[in-house]
Amino acid sequence: MSAPLYRLACPADAYEIAVMSRYLIEVGLRGWSWPPERVVKAIRARDTNVLAAEVKGHLIGFAIMDFGDTAAHLSLFAVKPSHQRCGIGRRMMGWLEEAALTAGITTINLELRSNNFSARAFYRLLGYKETSYIPGYYRGVETAVKMSRDIRRITSAAR
């Protein structure tokens, strides 16, 4: 497999990101929370990073992260099944965390479906902790798990 390229998404990526969201994240839910128009809005927002991972010009993963003053929120994150378990998701999260640290962010928060056990294990491996459950978070029918991670680094000057 060719090495992935990680870059900020552009409006031309919006449709493919939206379709990936629909079929990899929102599968089984009524409606479509992240249609192309909403993805374009995120791409153009000053306080949001939309990361794209591609191989040979084909989008294989993406992430949408909103930045606040001290906390960031990971709204969407997906890697195509054909490219999962290859380290791509880990590198994407590393990219996002570096961007967050540069912006002065100390904490990253996210929600995911409580029955998505592989994603829960992925985030736990990266140091995220489950903080709470939100019944009915997804279209009033599915429970979400909230997870969070303090991304501050201990520096030798801080010791």
User: Residue 121 is which amino acid?
Assistant: A
pLDDT of residue 159: 45
> What does the DSSP assignment read for the chain?
-PPPEEEE--GGGHHHHHHHIIIIISTTSSS-SS-HHHHHHHHH-TTEEEEEEEETTEEEEEEEEEE-SSEEEEEEEEE-GGGTTSSHHHHHHHHHHHHHHHTT--EEEEEEETT-HHHHHHHHHTT-EEEEEEEEEETTTEEEEEEEEE-----GGG-
* Count: domains in the chain: 1
pLDDT of residue 37: 97
The CATH number covering residue 16 comes to 3.40.630.30
Q: Each residue's pLDDT tens digit in the chain (159 positions)?
A: 688 999 999 999 999 999 999 999 888 787 788 999 999 999 999 999 999 999 999 999 999 999 999 999 999 999 998 888 888 999 999 999 999 999 999 999 999 999 999 999 999 999 999 999 999 888 778 899 999 999 987 544 544
What CA–CA distances, in Å, run from 30 to 26, 78, 79, 109, 124? Answer: 8, 19, 22, 25, 28
| Alpha carbons 93 and 11: distance in angstroms, whole number | 21
CA dihedral (70, 40, 89, 74) positive or negative: positive
| Total-model pTM | 0.91
pLDDT of residue 86: 86
Q: Provide the domain limits for residue 104.
A: 5-158
